[in-house]
Structure 1
Amino acid sequence: MAKNVLGTDLESCSTDPMTGFYRDGCCNTGASDTGLHVVCCVMSAEFLAFSKSRGNDLSTPNPLFRFAGLQPGDRWCLCAARWKEAYDAGQAPDVVLASTHISSLEFASLEELQEHAAE
């Protein structure tokens, strides 16, 4: 079982919408996940606008990828580098620590993640 940033078993992030690189509801990762979709975030209108301004539109539906688009309040496994970029810009969304994969610590410190803890 994968571990979260707290050192315990990784918990589910969301099944509605279904998230995770493997679309299993968890922020699991593996060799094929080059974007490292490992940070379980709670979307906000501010973050969705920030992400769209950086070329990653998460709010517009994309039927080709069976993606309904995200709304404020949705939980989503975000790429670790995108979260850190948002953090550095003062736009980071809240993080569900128990559902955030331990590999996210390669991009952000536990303290940075805890600053935005959703719990």
Structure 2
Amino acid sequence: MKQSKDMAGLIQISELQYRTAQADMARIRTREEDLRRKLAQLIESKSAQAIATQRSDAAALIAGADIRWHRWVDQRRAAINAELAQVLALKENSRVRLQNAFGRDRAMQKLSEQMLKSQKAKHTRRQSYES
């Protein structure tokens, strides 16, 4: 049995929208993971620096460079956290779009299946009347 061209076009559009929403979500998740990794690296380097500073009387400590470095790390963490908050908001919006696209795609698939069954049943009835 054949589907109408309009129905086939609608199915393609719904599939494309769903795949696009999936790709957007994947891109956002990758960005989120990258930001979280950067945050973890900053925290780890700050901790390592604090331990190293306690063990020695480094020239950087005496010159005050470590204080500036710690301030830079804190500023960088704040900037990354702000960007992460934006990414999480985008992720939520993307999740909603993905959920809607998935629902539309599933509905189009079910509708297509029902139409094919209906056409098949019609065809079977016509053949039984002609016999």
TM above 0.5, yes or no, is no
- Greater relative contact order (CA < 8 Å, ≥ 6 in sequence): 2
Smaller-chain TM-score bracket: under 0.3
Q: Which has the higher helix share?
A: 2
Q: Which has the higher strand share?
A: 1
